[in-house]
Structure 1
């Protein structure tokens, strides 16, 4: 079992997970020229399963599939599938750095959704952080010209809207995971996520199937394997250290996405993308800071 509160181990696992997730996104973007994103979603979920089963077999823990909250897992897998679909579609039309920056909107929507679903009170500090994050979204959108003219710009605008919608679905998923984690282990949640998301995308697969070449098939399988390993690393990271300590490391994916986008896709990020990303990251970090303060206050009460 990993040591609790091992910040060094948790940070290294988080850095590795974010790097792998960014590499996976780059592969998805490269495949999108010939392979529909729904087909890629199926391979992403299906070939993450072997990684999960290897982990279960190594620990001889087949009880991971045992659950008393199967309906909740279905809802969580549905929101996760919608988030993944939005993310994968956005990758087909947006530069890697922009898509990555817009995924950072999840903490903003977690804050907003916690009001109706968890009954939380959001003070002026967190509201200010949310507004700062939305300002970052507008900086990226306006700087890219998504709301100017017609034609290709409309595609960019739709891509950005879908990328922001991914933040909403991811926030819903986060809240559901919080609820599930009260009675289910992280490994059980991840395993059921992969199984059910594979089933959901399998149903849609015949409508979007394109027979891949051998090289494309290799890349599709690689997407799933990388995603599975990254998911396990992320889970292990959170098992090693507190979320509050690891939060800042998750934002290193913007550095990976800028570097990979520049080298592989020749997408040099503009100042609007970098500036908007900085605002969104700053808002996310401030929300994290407020969450830490609120947690400390609750422990003192």
Structure 2
């Protein structure tokens, strides 16, 4: 693989922009449409992009672990529902910051699922990261920049989404030992679309014309973000461009400020610094450890 850091960083930053725009549209539609309806359209209109990615290496649906794909899709669907709920009730920047707890949960989940023994550095990073979570959540009153009331349970949903998102990543790791990445992506897209389509008659709320355009854009943006992220990680090493994932906070902050008048407070910046800092520390530790072992 050719290592093109500039191209990889650019594409990954662009992917986070589309993800931020996707979350903004989910926030807009989440106040009037059902969550499952939004998730259905997200999966339906992102499916062509998943097929595009898969077709480059050959679409393979044959699998000996169908039950694993079903479980992966169920957990992934729960994660998507939590994301819609979180962005609907939280400022975009705060939801984005709390989503960065996923690497912290990965460390915790690696103990029962992968039989790993995290190092002291990893435990310190987890502790620092969750202190950041407490700062973000506790600061919604005095230290919050906006005057909009934010329900406490919304922070719990956003934090839980980080844990569920980490679980989906862990499931992908386990499936990828025998399955191609394109096979995993295809089954996820198909199963999620079918599952939400089955629930649609029970949760359907007629969207306005403007909401229809927003729903189409949600799926398209999700698909575009996935294509860009795939191309980014194909262009450069994950460890090299990983920190550019945090550019999503810039986009979320700008969109929240310009589109929803959400002014980030001191607590969000302080907590975000701790959460992102812990993630970068872990990334640096992962880069140093292999060199010592070499």
Is the TM-score greater than 0.5? yes
Query: What does 1:52-201 correspond to in 2, within 5 Å?
Result: 52-56=50-54, 59=56, 61=58, 63-145=59-141, 156-201=151-196
Q: Deviations over 1:81-135 (max 9, x none)?
A: 1111111101111010111110001000000110111111112211111010111
Q: CA deviation at 1:188?
A: 2.3
> Aligned partners of 2:182 and 2:233: how far apart in 1?
12
Structure 1, unaligned runs of 5 or more: 147-151
> Aligned partners of 1:55 and 1:106: how far apart in 2?
25
Indicate if the aligned counterparts of 1:64 and 1:188 stay in contact, CA closer than 8 A.
yes
Q: CA deviation at 1:25?
A: 0.3
What TM-score does the superposition give when structure 1 sets the normalisation length? Answer: 0.90
- Corresponding residue number in structure 1 for 2:225: 230
Indicate if the aligned counterparts of 1:186 and 1:235 stay in contact, CA closer than 8 A.
no
Aligned positions, number: 289
- Corresponding residue number in structure 2 for 1:265: 260
Query: What does 1:268-283 correspond to in 2, within 5 Å?
Result: 268-283=263-278
Q: CA deviation at 1:36?
A: 1.7
Structure 2, unaligned runs of 5 or more: 143-147
> Aligned partners of 2:251 and 2:57: how far apart in 1?
35
> Aligned partners of 2:219 and 2:44: how far apart in 1?
7
Which secondary structure does the structure 1 equivalent of 2:3 belong to? Answer: coil
> Aligned partners of 2:52 and 2:172: how far apart in 1?
23
Query: What does 1:37-52 correspond to in 2, within 5 Å?
Result: 37-52=35-50
Q: Deviations over 1:188-247 (max 9, x none)?
A: 222221111112222332232101112211110110011011112112222222211121
- Corresponding residue number in structure 2 for 1:30: 28
Give the aligned CA root-mean-square deviation in angstroms.
1.8
Q: CA deviation at 1:185?
A: 2.9
Q: Does 1:250 align with 2:250?
A: no
Q: CA deviation at 1:38?
A: 1.7
Describe the shift of the 1:238–1:68 C-alpha distance in structure 2 as closer, same or farther (beyond 3 A). Answer: farther
Which secondary structure does the structure 1 equivalent of 2:276 belong to? Answer: helix
Which secondary structure does the structure 2 equivalent of 1:77 belong to? Answer: helix
